Every structure is written in C-alpha cells, then in structure tokens.
Amino acid sequence: MHCPFCGVDDSRVVDSRPAESGNAIRRRRECEACGNRFTTYERREHAVVVRKRDGRAEPFSSAKVISGVSRAMAGRELTAETLDHLARSIEAFAEEQGPEVSTEEIGRRVLEALRLLDEAAYLRFASVHKEFEGASDFGREVAALEEGP
C-alpha cells in the first residue's frame, strides 16, 4: 500500500477495527518513510451470483464446484492440487463474468476443464449437466469429443 503523501510502499498498521457493520476492516497506517498516517479499508469482494435454471439465485461456491467435479471424477486419479486448481480457475471465470453467471456457463466451463483432464469424467459430468435425454445425446457428445478441440 503506497503512502499517499510520499508514495513509499512501507507502512505499518497502528490501529485495526471493524467498520461498516462488520463488512469491512478499517486500518490506520503510519508511513515508515515520512511518518504520515492514512486509512485503508478492507472489504469483502462482491460475491458472484449464480442464476439457476429455475430462476433462483445463489452465491457462487467453489466448494460446490469441487464436490460436483469430485463426483464426476470418482475412481479416477485426481490430486487435491488439481482439483483445487480447477476450482480456482472456475472461480476466476465466475468473477470475470460476474456479478451474475448462469449454472450453464459454469457447467460449460467445468466441462472444458474436465475434457482436458479426463474424457470419461467429462462424459459423466456432461450427462448430469446437460441432462441427456437418451443414448443419441450421449453418442453425439462422444462424437464431439473424438473430433477434438
């Protein structure tokens, strides 16, 4: 955090307290270079809202992404690190699209990521996400997969 008086990026927190009914933290800082004091606020980033197919909205949850992907990847080798990386990339995507993103958009993005990781898991996830009506849909998906990106 650059000092507004001298521009030096070297300050220490001299006071820290809740603000805005607990939605922010107010910090008084003292510049180590010029000694002037200034205030910073730390706020929670606006949550991304996920719009579901039935029109209801809920806050984006990377935990839900992880549990959905874990189910699709059941029995497959997938490290916690890979899963975490995937979840973070989906979260970054949601924030990019935000403040509102649809479950379809998130699902598509997860599919793209899964497809690169594991084709069988991709198909399993696709069958849930796209609510396939029959074998023809599944066959089309397999055909699309074989065509490659």
Residues at the site binding Zn ion, with contacts judged by CB under 5 A? 3, 5-6, 8, 31, 33-34
Shortest Cβ 40–Zn ion spacing (Å): 13
In DSSP terms, 95 is beta-bridged to none
CB 36 within 8 A of CB 75: no
Q: Which helix (H) or strand (E) holds 50?
A: strand 49-51
Q: Which residue number, 30 or 95, has a Cβ lying nearer to Zn ion?
A: 30
Strands 11-19, 24-31: pairing is: antiparallel
Shortest Cβ 41–Zn ion spacing (Å): 19
Q: Which residue number, 31 or 69, has a Cβ lying nearer to Zn ion?
A: 31
Q: Which residue number, 32 or 100, has a Cβ lying nearer to Zn ion?
A: 32
The tokens 């074998």 sit on which residue? 135
Q: Which residue number, 8 or 116, has a Cβ lying nearer to Zn ion?
A: 8
Q: Which residues contact 58 (CB under 8 A, 6 or more apart)?
A: 49, 50, 52
The tokens 């809202």 sit on which residue? 49
Q: Most distant CA pair in the chain: distance in Å?
A: 71
Shortest Cβ 39–Zn ion spacing (Å): 14
Shortest Cβ 8–Zn ion spacing (Å): 5
Shortest Cβ 17–Zn ion spacing (Å): 22
Strands 57-59, 100-102: pairing is: unpaired
Q: Which residue number, 34 or 117, has a Cβ lying nearer to Zn ion?
A: 34
